Amino acid sequence: MSNINSIGEHSMFYARDHKTAYLFDPWAFLGPRRRKLLDTSWPGLFREHILNELPVGKLASFYTDGFGRPTKELYAALGALILQQMHDLTDEETVNQFSFNLQWHYALDIAGESDEAKYLSPKTLWTLRRRVAETGLDRDLFTVATETLATVFEVDASKQRIDSVHIRSNMKRLGRICIFSQSIHNFLVNLKRNHRSVFDAIETELVERYLTKKALGCFSMVKPSESATTLETLSEDLLSLVQRFRDNRQIRAMNTFGVLLRVLTDQCQVTGEDGVSPQATLKKPGEIPSSSLQNPSDPDAGYSSHKGQGYQVQVMETYCDCEGGKTREEALNLITHVEVQSADKSDVHALIPALESTHSRGLGPEEVLADSLYGSDENHEKSKEMGVDLVAPTMGSSKTDSFSLVDFAQDEKGNIIACPRGHAPVKRRQSKKNLSIGFDSLHCNDCPLQSQCPVRSGKKRHYLRFTFRALRVAGRRAQELTDEFKEKYRWRAGVEATFSEMATITGIKKLRVRGIRAVGFCARLKAVGVNILRAARVKRVREALKPAPRGTLSGTGSIIYAVKEQFLGRWRRLRDIFVINGELERCSFKIAA
């Protein structure tokens, strides 16, 4: 079994050329109707456009050239990784689909019936998935598939939208007590395994408190009235372990010790550390940073006060606003960017990397819709430098009981030309960052709206002082009130449908893996799967809208023609595969047309 599925370091690189046509069509047995179903759905699309573009050459360094048994056919194996994430399958389900599912065979161009062709062992799947994740090849898979579909379907990438979705890895749900106890438990287990002599010197009471299943389980059943006392005990044990081993170079290099140190730093305030008896005082929940370790079972995950523990996936996609003459069904909404972050990261830092990534691949937008978290002044200015119009609401709101810069009339260049009562300024002065607009004091002294106006009296005039940033923000607030902005921004909500589709079809909200590298692998390949399924739907719509070819029969004539063509087609297939004595023989029968 292992020989059939060899994919180790001493295997020989093996990848077929799927562009070369077969001498005899191996899929002729399907018949025209089933063949059409495959060609017009995702298997046909994958086989025709995606399969042979997969970057299998980047795996060549893992294999020996001309030595050992051939690997599993690498185009099919890489394709299986995409299909697994697309359909949200376990490893066992993936092996079964690879072995018996005709749609998978057609999509991956597996025509043979041997175990070497149609069997994929779980070990092969694990090994290849690990290598793809470790080398970052999942990014290349996403890039290749996205660029291919964009070219084939002539995707208009000028208009895109971006948002993030919260997901969870296969992490355990832990409270604050469990974070302490689980971190200590993991460290002691690792210490016992790798440094037994050091472990044996630890007090028996401490070991029994955290290493026995019964004792560890007691931490999850602590009464609320006893939680404060329990946390104090845990913090003392945590501090004692850190103090004992912090000068041991070998133990400090252990990942689990790093987790201990991080929990202590994030959750406790250590006093008297340089003295004889340091003490750990628990921080209040509001003092704990959002980037703190929230789950020892997945240290890469973060914590969002709004959505909880886990990760967030930044997703940018194209959209059709039906202005180019195409209907929404004819246009392919293509996911062009996927990036995974811990849940504590802010969306404000995700926009510019997304624009840089898509521009470098020739899929950069000219206009991006985003929610207010992406719409900082810095992002607006950087987007403008990149030639991108960022359409996003401004954070916060202006005061309703007083005037703001929005209430001062501005021209097309953003210069203030009048106060709320229509009086024009008489002087304008500016520095590198600030502006000062002077108004005639005669108008301002007699104004009944003085209490609501931000204009303040000076020596000679009344002045309105503000920064360029405040002026830009005010201009955007005014723009948000226009019908043009509302018409553009209404298309942003469509990205929520994408998240629903990813969650329903690919199961992205709850993954079977842990760690940001594995989570990123799954998220990117699931996005590829969504793109493929969307492209297949668009392909069917476009095929249905194509005009019928000239000379097409209708009514009874079309039925007779179809029956005749079906009979002749079957006869030709039978003639081509008819073999006598190992040599191909052509039958001499002729059928009159």
pLDDT for 565-583, tens place per residue? 566 666 565 555 554 444 4
Average pLDDT over residues 317-345: 87
The backbone torsions φ and ψ at residue 331, rounded to the nearest 5 degrees and listed phi first, read -95, 140
96 and 3 in a single domain? The answer is: yes
Residues 6+ apart with CB under 8 A from 479: 485
CA-wise closest residue to 83 among 102, 72, 98: 98
Q: Is residue 310 part of a domain?
A: no
Least confident of 8-17, 129-138, 416-425: 8-17
Asked if 238 and 266 count as a contact pair (C-beta separation under 8 A), the reply is no
Q: Is residue 250 part of a domain?
A: yes
Q: Is residue 301 part of a domain?
A: no
More confident call, 59 vs 536: 536
Asked if 454 and 443 count as a contact pair (C-beta separation under 8 A), the reply is no
Q: Is residue 275 part of a domain?
A: yes
Number of domains in the chain: 4
Other C-beta atoms closer than 10 Å to the C-beta of 568 total: 12
Q: Which range of residues forms the domain containing residue 278?
A: 176-287
101 and 222 in a single domain? The answer is: no
Q: Is residue 125 part of a domain?
A: yes
261-315, pLDDT tens digit by residue? 888 888 888 887 665 678 888 888 777 776 666 677 788 888 787 787 899 999 9
State the residue for tokens 């594995």.
518
Asked if 551 and 205 count as a contact pair (C-beta separation under 8 A), the reply is no
Q: Is residue 242 part of a domain?
A: yes
7 and 126 in a single domain? The answer is: yes
Residue 55 scores a pLDDT above 80: yes
CA-wise closest residue to 109 among 147, 143, 76, 158: 76
Instruction: Read off the tokens for 77.
Output: 């194996």
Q: Is residue 332 part of a domain?
A: no
Asked if 535 and 153 count as a contact pair (C-beta separation under 8 A), the reply is yes
Q: What's residue 570's pLDDT?
A: 61
Q: What's residue 369's pLDDT?
A: 96
Asked if 140 and 54 count as a contact pair (C-beta separation under 8 A), the reply is no
Q: Which of 287, 308, 330 is the last residue of a domain?
A: 287
Residue 592 scores a pLDDT above 60: no
121 and 29 in a single domain? The answer is: yes
10 and 107 in a single domain? The answer is: yes
Average pLDDT over residues 121-149: 94
Residues 6+ apart with CB under 8 A from 144: 50, 53, 54, 55
Give the β-pairing of 268-271 and 279-282.
antiparallel
Percent of the chain at pLDDT > 90 equals: 43
Stated pTM of the model: 0.78
Average pLDDT over residues 323-352: 88
Q: What's residue 560's pLDDT?
A: 60
19-58 b/e with 16+ CB inside 10 Å = b?
eeeeeeeebbeeeeeebeebbbbbbbbbbebbbbebebeb
Residue 205 scores a pLDDT above 90: no
Q: Is residue 487 part of a domain?
A: no
Average pLDDT over residues 377-382: 94
Asked if 490 and 500 count as a contact pair (C-beta separation under 8 A), the reply is no
Taking CA atoms, 16 is separated from 4, 111, 255, 354, in Å, by 16, 12, 42, 35
Q: What's residue 269's pLDDT?
A: 86
CA-wise closest residue to 82 among 60, 55, 63: 55
Q: What's residue 399's pLDDT?
A: 65
